[in-house]
């Protein structure tokens, strides 16, 4: 769940070279962060507020990283970028870090407007297309059973079912043309080579991009500067272990990407201090795992772990995120051989330490 996990010491280690210089949200303005590389921000609303967009210019053409949600405000912001920045130049590539609405909600619209395929990993394409399709009676039933197993009340379950149904409205009709990218691929963006580095956990096959020459790392949601992304088990893959995957991919990114890069995250300002940030994220979640394990010395439901895992009130609007992430911690403990569960007659899962 999105929450603050950075200690004061790590906040002091991180450096923000563009502090105070961020582009305004949703007005089509841009800030140059490197040669031929522009930063724009699109409105998202809620706790995230905005999502970062990266624009590369080269040889009279543009490459775009991520799009924002499908909303009139975001469309209007893009129209300003097309009229003032891109103008009559071609768009040669549209790349999505992953398939969540704030990253690919307008991918179909931009793809059709500019006649370019959307470059995305295989698993993230499935995420984007599934979101655009919305809920079905079968998916409704699966989602309700998933929330019920976590211990939610009928009223809480129904409220979150409505939220789940609303997500599809943030994604326009998917693109007709996709191009696949995968770990280790090289993309030419802004006239330079960028290596695809895959993270997982927050989403199944999240694409980050690393440029060795420029010492830049487009991190997407994988390594955010001030918040931790939601790492959740989801109803369509209820036995998955995204927390183990996320922690493992963070450690791998630290081993592959040098510490001297400028990190370009999807939320928050560009920063330096990648390795310190990764260490803090891992340490924070390892502490969450210890707290969860201590809590299930006696059998507990997923909802019973909210108090020890989250430093904010779990309201109706974020119940689904909280339940998914609490369950991700429990599945990680199960993978480590430290926890098991029993299902009662009402379909509620009770977790206990081994």
How is the chain split into domains, by residue range? 3-342
Q: Is the pLDDT of residue 312 over 90?
A: no
Closest CA to 132 of 114, 161, 108, 160: 108
Instruction: State mean pLDDT over 26-51.
Output: 95
Asked if 62 and 91 count as a contact pair (C-beta separation under 8 A), the reply is yes
Is 70 exceeded by the pLDDT of residue 5? Answer: no
The residues pairing with 42 across neighbouring beta strands, listed in sequence order, are 51
Residue 11 pLDDT more than 60? no
User: Is the pLDDT assigned to residue 249 strictly greater than 60?
Assistant: yes
Residue 316, pLDDT > 60, answer yes
**Residue recorded with tokens 């970062």:** 52
Kindly state the average pLDDT of the residues 209-227.
Answer: 97
d(CA 280, CA 278): 5
pLDDT (0 to 100) of residue 311 = 79
Model pTM? 0.94
- What was the pLDDT predicted at 6? 42
Report the alpha-carbon angle 131-132-134, nearest 5: 70
* Residue 154: pLDDT over 80: yes
Residue 280 DSSP one-character state: H
pLDDT of residue 133: 86
Q: Spell out the CATH class of 3-342.
A: alpha beta
pLDDT band at residue 7 under the 50/70/90 scheme: very low
């Amino acid at each position: 769940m999105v929450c603050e996990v950075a200690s004061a010491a790590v906040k002091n280690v991180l450096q923000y070279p563009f502090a105070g210089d961020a582009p305004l949200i949703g007005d089509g303005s841009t800030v140059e962060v490197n040669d031929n590389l522009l930063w724009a921000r699109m409105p998202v609303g809620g706790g995230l507020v905005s999502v970062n967009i990266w624009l590369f210019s080269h040889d009279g053409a543009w490459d775009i990283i991520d799009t924002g949600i499908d909303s009139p405000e975001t469309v209007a912001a893009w129209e300003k970028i097309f009229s003032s920045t891109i103008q009559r130049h071609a768009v040669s590539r549209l790349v999505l870090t992953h398939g969540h609405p704030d990253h690919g909600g307008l991918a179909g619209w931009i793809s059709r407007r500019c006649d370019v395929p959307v470059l995305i990993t295989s698993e993230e394409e499935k995420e984007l297309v599934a979101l655009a399709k919305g809920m079905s009676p079968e998916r409704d039933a699966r989602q309700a059973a998933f929330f019920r197993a976590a211990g939610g009340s009928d009223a809480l379950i129904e409220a979150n079912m409505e939220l789940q149904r609303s997500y599809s409205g943030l994604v326009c009709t998917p693109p007709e043309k996709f191009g696949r990218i995968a770990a280790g691929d090289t993309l030419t963006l802004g006239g330079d080579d960028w290596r695809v580095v895959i993270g997982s956990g927050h989403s199944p096959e999240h694409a980050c991009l690393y440029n060795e020459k420029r010492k830049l790392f487009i991190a997407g949601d994988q390594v955010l500067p001030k918040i931790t992304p939601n790492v959740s088990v989801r109803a369509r893959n209820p036995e998955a272990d995204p927390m183990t995957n996320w922690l493992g991919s963070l450690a791998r990114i630290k081993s592959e990407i040098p510490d001297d890069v400028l990190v370009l995250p999807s939320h928050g300002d560009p920063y330096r201090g990648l390795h310190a940030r990764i260490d803090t994220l891992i340490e924070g979640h390892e502490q969450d795992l210890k707290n969860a394990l201590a809590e299930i010395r006696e059998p507990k439901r997923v909802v019973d772990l909210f108090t020890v895992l989250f430093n904010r009130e779990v309201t109706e609007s974020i119940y689904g995120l909280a339940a998914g992430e609490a369950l991700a911690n429990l599945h990680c403990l199960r993978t480590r051989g430290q926890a098991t569960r029993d299902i009662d007659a009402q379909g509620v899962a009770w977790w206990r330490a081994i």
